[in-house]
Amino acid sequence: MASRPCFFDLTRDELADLLAGWKMPRYRTDQLLQWVYRHGQADPRQMSNLSEPDRQLLARELTFTRARIVRHQSASDGTQKLLLDWSESALPVAESNNQTECVMIPADDRRTACISSQVGCPVGCRFCASGLGGLDGNLTSGQIVEQVWQLNQLLAPERITHVVFMGMGEPMANFDAVTKAVRTLMAEWATHISGRRITISTVGLPAQMRRLAELQLPITLAISLHAPNDALRRQLIPWAQHVSIAQLVEAGRYYFQRTGREITLEYILLHQVNDQPQHAAELARVARQLRSNVNLIRYNEVAGLAYNRPDDQDVRQFQQILRQAGINCHIRASRGRDISAACGQLRHEHRAATN
């Protein structure tokens, strides 16, 4: 199976070239794209307007879906979470370490997909479940796109309207696959999601942030800051040993200059760690250095990690200090708290239960 081309990895032109090599008429390309992306049908044997020989050839020579759904959780607020296993794919990772998560988050008329870019995570944030086992491998562009497709299957006839790369992994450490996936998600022949409704979140790789700016994709860039000063950030995020907040600010400025897109600063509030008034005042000074807004996120606890959810009073006070300093600041609503909501938590709990 690893040697077979994979549908979701292919652009429209790449698919057209592949089908032409199999002597199929060129219009088969759009028929196939419509079946998979518009109608959600990934079994060529069910594609009724294709000839029987073409259906058989496609079923034999082309891989469509690769993910096996290991667990599906539904929260009381409508959030749905999938634990996907890629064991039968070409992903070069150790056996049994092939699982990633994706989440569908409903809010008013939005249906947001929170998707993963890697299996595990190399960053190792002290408070996060995603990196507890380190990095097992990169997802391909097709595996990234397929997560959105799988969530669309849950939603049908509704569809995903927004995408955030805030699941497992560091997107900028899998740059080529992530940016190819973004182009597919934006494409009219695929999911056709506006770039303005796609957000890539990075812990901070300045060179890759500048590289992303040069692509001129109309997407939002979010920096996972989580601390207002370098000393505290290095305690929470091991990769911060190599990148200062000043370097992130400089790269964020460059991104805004090249794209005109305001930066989002993501800040997870940890009880009595980074959620006090002095931290808010420091964060305001950072945010004022570039065109940005701040998203405050209440921590979702992870079993075995020594961090707690902040008090509501501290969260409101933190926001008030930022707003009084003139910072556009919002508190993100907590979703899916009753279904292992934290990033990587479902995978972590499933592996613990099966080992």
The reported pLDDT for the residue numbered 345 is 56
Using alpha carbons, select from 189, 192, 221 the residue that is nearest to residue 204. Answer: 221
| Domain end point (choices 33, 61, 89) | 61
Q: Alpha-carbon distance 174 to 75, whole Å?
A: 30
Whether residue 49 is found in the same domain as residue 171: no
Collect the ranges in the chain with pLDDT lower than 70: 1-2, 89-96, 337-355
Whether residue 99 is found in the same domain as residue 174: yes
Residue 1 lies in a domain: no
Supply 245's token pair.
């907040």
Using alpha carbons, select from 263, 266, 239, 236 the residue that is nearest to residue 252. Answer: 263
Whether residue 277 is found in the same domain as residue 328: yes
Residues 241-298: pLDDT tens digits? Answer: 999 999 999 999 999 999 999 999 999 999 999 999 999 999 999 999 999 999 999 9
Whether residue 34 is found in the same domain as residue 72: no
Residue by residue, DSSP assigns 207-272 as HHHHHHHHHT---EEEEE---SSHHHHHHH-GGGGT--HHHHHHHHHHHHHHH-PPEEEEEEE-TT
Whether residue 167 is found in the same domain as residue 280: yes
The reported pLDDT for the residue numbered 347 is 52
The β-bridge partners of 298 are 269
CATH number of the domain enclosing 204: 3.20.20.70
Whether residue 37 is found in the same domain as residue 141: no
Residue 239 lies in a domain: yes
CATH number of the domain enclosing 36: 1.10.150.530
The reported pLDDT for the residue numbered 337 is 67
Whether residue 138 is found in the same domain as residue 37: no
Instruction: Please name the helix (run of DSSP H) or strand (run of DSSP E) that holds residue 58, with its range, or none.
Output: helix 52-61
The reported pLDDT for the residue numbered 94 is 44
Whether residue 240 is found in the same domain as residue 266: yes
Whether residue 213 is found in the same domain as residue 168: yes
Residue 150 lies in a domain: yes
Whether residue 111 is found in the same domain as residue 205: yes
Using alpha carbons, select from 320, 269, 265 the residue that is nearest to residue 293. Answer: 265
Domain with 208 in it: 68-354
* 288 Cα distance to chain centroid: 27
The reported pLDDT for the residue numbered 129 is 86
Q: Alpha-carbon distance 198 to 207, whole Å?
A: 21
Count: domains in the chain: 2
The three-state secondary structure class of 178 is helix
Whether residue 304 is found in the same domain as residue 336: yes
Q: What pTM value is reported for the model?
A: 0.93
Whether residue 72 is found in the same domain as residue 46: no
Query: Is 71 within 8 Å of 90 (Cβ atoms)?
Result: no
Please list the active-site residues. Answer: 101, 343
Residue 2 lies in a domain: no
The reported pLDDT for the residue numbered 171 is 98
| Domain end point (choices 61, 76, 96) | 61
